Structure 1
Amino acid sequence: MNLRGPVRIAEAVLDVERYELLRDGERVPLERLPMELLILMASRSGQLVTRADIVKTLWGGSPFRDTDTSINTAIRKIRVAVGEDPEHPRNLLTVKGKGYRLEVVQIAVPDLPPIAPPPPVRVLVLPFRDRSESADLQGLCDALADETSANLGALNPDKVSMIARTTAARYRDTPRSIAEIAQELGLDYVIEGAVSCSEGRVRVLAQLVRCIDQAQIWAGAREAAAHGVLDIQRDLGMSLATELSPSLSEQQDRMLARRLPIDPSAHDAFLRGRYYWTRRVHFDAGFAAHHALSVEDFIRARGYFETAIERDPTYALGYVGLSNVYGATAAHGCYPSSQGYPRARETALRALELDDGLPEAHQALAGVYYFYDWDWRRAEEEFLEALRLNPNHAETSRLYARLLLVQGREAEGRAQFERAERADPLAFEGSRVFGLVQAGHYEEVAHSSLVAGNGERSPLVYQLLATAFEVQGHHEDAVEATAEALTRCGEFTRAESIRTIFRQSGYDAVLQWYLHDLVARGRRGYTSPLLFAEIYARLRNADEMYRWLDIALAERSPRMCELRTNPWFQRYRSTHRFREIEKRVGY
């Protein structure tokens, strides 16, 4: 059963998305383990849930825990919480010697359904077109569309649902009409724009189009030198809001205005930085670091964010950009954590000091708590605050989902991935596959790849497919997926080398080649110790793996926070030594 809404169990109502159990409208406190077990059984309404299923889902199949006692205690707590008599249950039944069956699970329907508010209108900002003859403005065009989308998403999330930039990017220079795009994505409005440059002055034109009748609701032209890039975002937001409601409230007006800096050139620099940042950050960090994919985009992004702050030291989004770069360069293995995350924290806190209502700033601080401090509670608080401020921010939902999966809260994690999918339908494929890999559903990853075919999938999807294939022992498929990912990153020589080594000497030779490459890079400069631990795990060299894991722990390597869901270590998780390392991380 797909738990997309609240369900009724005995005298209680379970809301999975809110992670909440209610009786008579009052919240019933329930510990994490009983709640996860309740969600598992509710999702299999009427079906037998064996004890083996429960152990696999809640403890990863660990044979070293007293799971029988824990399960019995959790079942007793669930029965009390939903209002059942533990001695004579009616809904949560014990199947002797097998497991449990949760009966009579019904979708909760209010007695008197209220008049539902209209659903939020769905809006897509298409990539702005570059109409300059002498200057290359494509980066600015993409970033301007991205920032316009972010502004509108924060304006009124109850009334406006923005389709994310990664989906919009699929429609660059498309021959499809607005009507066709609207039908594919279920849109209500589309925003189109173009940027041109003449005699050193940048001119921005935009229009808001209603999809149902192709009517132009608003159009405007601005020059960037006269605060054009900033004003056009404000005008777009106000025009859309005015179309949705009789007036734009003063509170909404302030929410939009505070994202904008005093100096328009600072905003231009931020947009350019965001262009390079988004182009680089959507790679699997382990894969990117392992194959030494270029970090030039990170370097360019940092330069632009620094320029934005130089032009306007009070510009909160500029500090968010720097926090993202400092953290990501460490997470992607470019520098040690100690060189990245203290500065990521400092700049995130500075952004919050300037604007504590900025969702991106809360997300940036959550990333520090998650990847560097390994402080799950504070990270979750910041993720939730970011989502409260902007429920349409898909990046926050994706990263929060990763934290939930690390904590073993798979049902909640999947709900967050679904939330991200609604905000970013076309780009969600890579996020969904990442979640499946983290949760250990490797067969589902491989099956989805066969069903979907190649198409326009990103390098990230192939990186994740390569992982899923290798874990399952499908080495030829793993080689091809790795080569395809590298090819789509422009690493043609490396891709062909891997294919050649596999054809001549087999997969172990490929792994040895990876190891020699890491050793050589380690002599030239910094290389994350976690990369060595991962490759030794893949080579089944446990002693070297543990040696490098100890180094990674001492260094606080960022991806150690996802040790529990890292696929390369799955065969070692039941060992005492590995569990001791997990405890040191904070599990």
Structure 2
Amino acid sequence: TKTDALEPRRVAALPLAIISSDQQDEYFADGLTEEIINTLSSIPGLKVIARTSVMKYKEASKSVGEIGRELKVGTILEGSVRKAGGRLRITIQLIDVGSESPIWSQKYDRELEDVFKIQTDIAERVAEALKVQLLTENRTLIQQKAPEDIGAYVLYLRGRYHWSRRNKEDLEKAIAYFGEAIEKDPNYALAHAGMADCYTLMGRHLYLPAKEAFSKARDFANRALELNNDLAEAHTSLAAVLLIYDWEWDEAEDQFKRAIQLNPNYATAHYWHSVLLQTTGRLQESVTAAEKAQVLDPLSPVIGMGVVQAYFFSGQYDKAVEECYRYLDMNPSFVVARDFLVHLHVQNGLFEEAAEEAKRLLDVSERKSEAMAHLAYVYAASGKTEEAKKLFEASVADAEFGYSNPTIFIIVCSILGDLDNAYRWAEKARESGRIALHSLRFSPDLQRFRTDPRYNLLLAKAHLQ
């Protein structure tokens, strides 16, 4: 309803515009936007939209009213930043979405070193305007995040700018910038947390061997927490390693709960927590956690697919289909949404639609062998066994080496009744750190897989028995 949409304490901090002849300063504006979002997120009583969703409005020509309605927020913070040498000029205003009129505005013309005082001041003014309390501990959290060397902060912002792009080349640049920040200020906890996040992604995308990537991620996350135990980001980084690689489910849960307690608006923590809840079999709780993440980051495709996955494993197929189409409206060549639709159509008995979707997946996906295996899956599930086998053999010939997502191969083998090969793929996935335990436990495609005695052995190895 309209009143829900315009809840004043639901806030979006839009990307700060950069007013500078030097476009090199873009990282600074983006990084400062993220820091302001993180600062506001720690204020109890505010619901703050996450970075991924607001960054979609960078240089957008939409009105505050349009953006407010799309993000379902009642209040928007917007402004600009100009960085010249050691000086910083920030203009900021808080706007009521309903009337599109400013509630509060301020200009800051300060030294670069004062950037943390500016962040605290903005947080205080926003809290005051929206009649919520900025607690003493929130002020302390902001001050604790500040490094001793302002140069380290600038390097950290550069690192986060590249990290958010998430490809191999940018992750390597991010590691270099976070490394320089740590050299300048070895006690800068956020830079260690940034390193942990980089190595976690390097491991997940197989840019580095899983063992090497995740052990580095663990070391950096632990170091960040030794330096500042009140960093939600670092607790989440450590929890991700415990979840994805170490399979220490109880420890991971403790870390997620601590992160969410420190920053209830941290969408990434809610998202990963939902994956943990799926893996450990608490499917309805996982839906709640995934939906919480989506409320905080409504335009993030990763989080959107987390919601789809939670619905899929808990048998809520219609809701999952609806979400897939919503994200495909935003990006028609979004591979993961197409992938899920193939499985959802099969579960709903719509084999023709599933085959069409698999063919579209083959068009848009860079990973042709995986896409081809999806078509084989549709044929296998609809009883076209011979066609399925032929296609599957062709896809396996392509996929044998360096393959990054073995789940579809496990599924096809399982449906075709070739459980020896299904378990061979599962073992390879386990060794490479790419096993999707939640899929193996709860995917409706893997019922036959779960009837084999080897299934319980696999769960025991993953500390799930």
Provide the C-alpha distance between the structure 2 equivalents of 1:512 and 1:127, rounded to a whole number of angstroms.
Answer: 48
> Could you tell me which residue of structure 2 aligns to residue 334 of structure 1?
207
Answer yes or no: is the 8 Å Cα contact 1:222–1:232 preserved in 2. Answer: no
Q: Secondary structure at the match of 2:330?
A: coil
State whether structure 2 residue 2 is matched by structure 1 residue 121.
Answer: no
- Residue 514 of structure 1 and its aligned partner are, at CA, apart by 4.2
State whether structure 2 residue 192 is matched by structure 1 residue 192.
Answer: no
The aligned length equals 434
Superposition map of 1:369-384 within 5 A = 369-384=242-257
Q: Secondary structure at the match of 2:32?
A: helix
State whether structure 2 residue 311 is matched by structure 1 residue 436.
Answer: yes
Of residues 226-235 and 295-304 in structure 1, the stretch that sits farther from structure 2 once superposed is 226-235
> Could you tell me which residue of structure 1 aligns to residue 57 of structure 2?
171
Answer yes or no: is the 8 Å Cα contact 1:398–1:416 preserved in 2. Answer: yes
Provide the C-alpha distance between the structure 2 equivalents of 1:558 and 1:405, rounded to a whole number of angstroms.
Answer: 14
User: Any unmatched runs of 5+ in structure 1?
Assistant: 1-118, 281-293
> Could you tell me which residue of structure 2 aligns to residue 423 of structure 1?
296
Answer yes or no: is the 8 Å Cα contact 2:8–2:74 preserved in 1. Answer: no
User: Any unmatched runs of 5+ in structure 2?
Assistant: 1-6, 376-385
Summarize the Cα distance change of 1:436–1:278 in structure 2 as closer, same or farther, 3 Å threshold: farther
Superposition map of 1:541-556 within 5 A = 541-554=418-431, 556=433
Summarize the Cα distance change of 1:357–1:458 in structure 2 as closer, same or farther, 3 Å threshold: farther
> Could you tell me which residue of structure 2 aligns to residue 310 of structure 1?
183
User: Which has the greater radius of gyration?
Assistant: 1
> Could you tell me which residue of structure 2 aligns to residue 257 of structure 1?
143
> Could you tell me which residue of structure 2 aligns to residue 476 of structure 1?
356
Provide the C-alpha distance between the structure 1 equivalents of 2:178 and 2:41, rounded to a whole number of angstroms.
Answer: 22
State whether structure 2 residue 15 is matched by structure 1 residue 133.
Answer: no
Provide the C-alpha distance between the structure 1 equivalents of 2:251 and 2:317, rounded to a whole number of angstroms.
Answer: 31
Provide the C-alpha distance between the structure 2 equivalents of 1:302 and 1:388, rounded to a whole number of angstroms.
Answer: 28
- TM-score (normalised: structure 2): 0.81
- TM-score (normalised: structure 1): 0.65
Provide the C-alpha distance between the structure 1 equivalents of 2:165 and 2:271, rounded to a whole number of angstroms.
Answer: 17
What code does the residue aligned with 2:39 have?
A: N
Summarize the Cα distance change of 1:441–1:251 in structure 2 as closer, same or farther, 3 Å threshold: closer
State whether structure 2 residue 452 is matched by structure 1 residue 575.
Answer: yes
- Residue 585 of structure 1 and its aligned partner are, at CA, apart by 1.3
Answer yes or no: is the 8 Å Cα contact 2:279–2:437 preserved in 1. Answer: no
- Residue 150 of structure 1 and its aligned partner are, at CA, apart by 0.9
Q: Secondary structure at the match of 2:320?
A: helix
Q: Secondary structure at the match of 2:451?
A: coil
Answer yes or no: is the 8 Å Cα contact 2:49–2:297 preserved in 1. Answer: yes
Q: Secondary structure at the match of 2:145?
A: coil
Provide the C-alpha distance between the structure 1 equivalents of 2:136 and 2:393, rounded to a whole number of angstroms.
Answer: 62
Answer yes or no: is the 8 Å Cα contact 2:197–2:237 preserved in 1. Answer: yes
Answer yes or no: is the 8 Å Cα contact 2:324–2:341 preserved in 1. Answer: no
Q: Secondary structure at the match of 1:192?
A: strand
> Could you tell me which residue of structure 2 aligns to residue 208 of structure 1?
93
Provide the C-alpha distance between the structure 2 equivalents of 1:166 and 1:447, rounded to a whole number of angstroms.
Answer: 21
Summarize the Cα distance change of 1:329–1:442 in structure 2 as closer, same or farther, 3 Å threshold: farther
Give deviations 1:425-466, integer Å, cap 9, x for gaps: 33353331232344455565335445x48421486x531431
Provide the C-alpha distance between the structure 1 equivalents of 2:107 and 2:339, rounded to a whole number of angstroms.
Answer: 47
Answer yes or no: is the 8 Å Cα contact 2:124–2:134 preserved in 1. Answer: yes
> Could you tell me which residue of structure 1 aligns to residue 271 of structure 2?
398
Query: What's the Cα RMSD here?
Result: 3.5
Higher helix share: 2
Superposition map of 1:208-227 within 5 A = 208-211=93-96, 214-215=101-102, 217-222=104-109, 226-227=112-113
Provide the C-alpha distance between the structure 1 equivalents of 2:258 and 2:356, rounded to a whole number of angstroms.
Answer: 44
Provide the C-alpha distance between the structure 2 equivalents of 1:226 and 1:356, rounded to a whole number of angstroms.
Answer: 26
Provide the C-alpha distance between the structure 2 equivalents of 1:383 and 1:181, rounded to a whole number of angstroms.
Answer: 31
Answer yes or no: is the 8 Å Cα contact 2:195–2:220 preserved in 1. Answer: yes
Q: Secondary structure at the match of 2:165?
A: helix
